[in-house]
Structure 1
Amino acid sequence: MLWLLAILGLTQGFSIESHLTTCAMLLEPPQLQFEQPLRDVEVQYGESVTLSCSVFGAPQAAIKWLHRGRIVATYSAPSVETAVHTTRVASGLIESKLFVPCVNRHSLGEYVCEATSPCGEVISSTAVVGLSNSIKGKSSCNLTRTAIPPTIAVSTVSRLELSGTPVQLMCRATGVPQPKVTWKRINDDDELEDINGESTMVSKIGRKSFYWSNHKK
C-alpha cells in the first residue's frame, strides 16, 4: 500500500553500483521532470533574490546550480536508501533554492538549475537575472560575508513509497553563520516531538507526517 509523506533530509553521494541497483529495483521506469522550472526575474540593483526550481524524480535527483556556466552550488542525491536492496517506488519532489545576496554586475546574467537522475538522465532549466531599470546605481546591500540569512537550499517536499520501506529524509540549509536545522515530527496525537540531527531515516512508512523548522543560532 502506498502512502504519501511530506519529508525533508540531507543528501549524500551515489556509487555506480548503487545507481544500477536503485534503477533495477524500481517498480516503474525512471522519471525526471521539472514541476517548477526557473523563471526570469528583474530586481533593483543591490537587492537580493532567491531562485527556485522543483524537480520530480524516481529515483530522486542530484541538483546543481550554475551561473554563467560556472558551478556555484551542488547537492548530491540521497544515498542511504540504496543500501537497502528492495523493490521500491523511490519517487519524490525536490525543491532547491539559490540565494543571491546582492544583485550587481557580477551576479547578473544566466542561472541554470540542473537535475541529474542516478539512472543517467540530465535535465536543466534556465533563467536570467536582470535589472528592473536601466540605471546602475550604487549597491545598497547591507549583507556581508559574515551575515547571510538562512535558506533551505534543497529539500524533498513530498515522497511516495511502499508501506514498510525505509526512506531517507533530506534537508540542507545554507547561510552565514551556518544555520541549525531543527526537525520535528507530528505524532499520532498531532503533537510535535523533536528529532535530533540534520539527517534522519524513517524505518517504516506509515501514517506519519513531518513538520520542519529552520532556526539560526
Structure 2
Amino acid sequence: MRPRTASLISVLVLLPAVLGRSLVGQGARPRTSVGLFLSKTQRASRPGSLLLKSHLKLRNTPPDVLTVAESESLVVECEAGGNPPPTIHWLKNGRRIDQDDSENTDELFSSQNAVPMLGLSFTRSRLFIDCASAQFDEAEYTCVAENPYHRVSKTTKVKVSKIGGARSSPMCLVKKSFDHPGSPARITMWTHTRLELMGSTVQLFCRPSGSPKPAVAWFGPDDNALQSGDKYKVLDNGDLEIRNIAWNDMGGYTCAAENSHGVDRTSTFLYPTLPDKA
C-alpha cells in the first residue's frame, strides 16, 4: 500500500472517531435523504464506498466569560466540525447578528441529485467587536453552528471594563451611534478544512463583511489566482466551488477579501479522498 493511500485511510478512520461518530460501510442500510448515502444503483457502481453519518460538534469555542477594556476591540472565534458541512452565525442576547451581506448558506448537499459526499468539514467564524462600550456591547453572544440535521450552540458573556473610570472615546460613540461611512474588509466565516470524495464538487466557504462591499479573490495551492470556468467558480457570496476534485487538487486555498479600508485573508485545506474499494 502506498504511503499516501495509507494516510487517506488513517484520516477517514481517525477524524470521525475524534468527532464521536463512525463510518457507514457497505453493509449498512442505504439512506436516501439529501444524497448523503448511496442509492442501490450508485452502491452497485461504487461498491464499498464509505460515507459519514450526519453529525455536528463544536470545537475551539470561546470561554464562558470574556472581558474587554472600554474602547478596545475584541475578536471572538468559534469552530464547528460535521457532516454535512456546517455554517456558523452569531446571536447577541438571542437576536441574530448579520455579519455579512449574504443569506445564502445552502451547500451542495441540498440537491437531491448531487453526487453523494463524504462532506466532512470544519468551519470557523469570527465575531468582531470594535470600540467596545458597556452601553452597546456588554451582552451574551452565542455561536450557533448548524447543518440540515443538527444545531449546536455555545454562549459567552462579554463584559466591558472601565479601567480607571475611563469612558468611551467620542469617535467610538459616533461609530456605534450612526452609520459609519466605511469599515474594513473582514472574513467572518470560512471553511478551515474539507475532506471530500474524489469526483465530487465542493463548496469552500468565504463570507466577507465590510463597507464598501469587499471584492473576493481565491488563490490555489500554487498561489496562482483562480478564475471562474469549467473547474472553478467564485460564487456571489464569496464561496469557491471546485468541480470534479482529484488528488492533485489537494492543498491550501487562500481567500482574500479587500476593500478601500483593508484586506483580510483566510486559508482552507482541501483533502480529496479515495472511495474504499471492495
TM-score normalised to the size of structure 1? Answer: 0.79
Paired-residue identity, %: 25
Cross-structure match for 2:143: 113
For residues 76 and 151 of structure 1, the distance between their equivalents in structure 2, rounded to whole angstroms, comes to: 18
Measured against aligned partners, the alpha-carbon deviations of 1:139-168 in whole angstroms (never above 9, x if no partner) come to: 137463223222211111110011111111
Deviates most, 21-30 or 39-48: 21-30
Measured against aligned partners, the alpha-carbon deviations of 1:48-88 in whole angstroms (never above 9, x if no partner) come to: 21111001010012322111111113765432343343222
Q: CA RMSD in A?
A: 2.7
- Unmatched runs of 5 consecutive residues or more in structure 2: 12-31, 39-49, 229-233, 261-278
Larger relative strand fraction? 1
Larger Rg: 2
Higher relative contact order, structure no. (Cα contacts within 8 Å, ≥ 6 residues apart) = 1
Larger relative helix fraction? 2
Say if 2:62 is the partner of 1:38: yes
For residues 170 and 212 of structure 2, the distance between their equivalents in structure 1, rounded to whole angstroms, comes to: 18
Matches within 5 A, 1:58-207: 58-73=83-98, 77-83=105-111, 84-104=113-133, 105-119=135-149, 121-133=150-162, 137-140=166-169, 142=171, 144=175, 145-186=180-221, 190-195=222-227, 197=234, 198-206=238-246, 207=248
Q: How many residues align?
A: 199
Deviates most, 196-205 or 155-164: 196-205
Cross-structure match for 1:216: 259
For residues 239 and 131 of structure 2, the distance between their equivalents in structure 1, rounded to whole angstroms, comes to: 30
Deviation at 1:89, TM superposition (A): 0.6
For residues 155 and 203 of structure 1, the distance between their equivalents in structure 2, rounded to whole angstroms, comes to: 19
SS in 1 for 2:168: coil
Contact 1:185 1:193 in 2 (8 A): yes
- Unmatched runs of 5 consecutive residues or more in structure 1: 5-18
For residues 194 and 128 of structure 2, the distance between their equivalents in structure 1, rounded to whole angstroms, comes to: 25
The residue type equivalent to 1:167 in the other structure is V
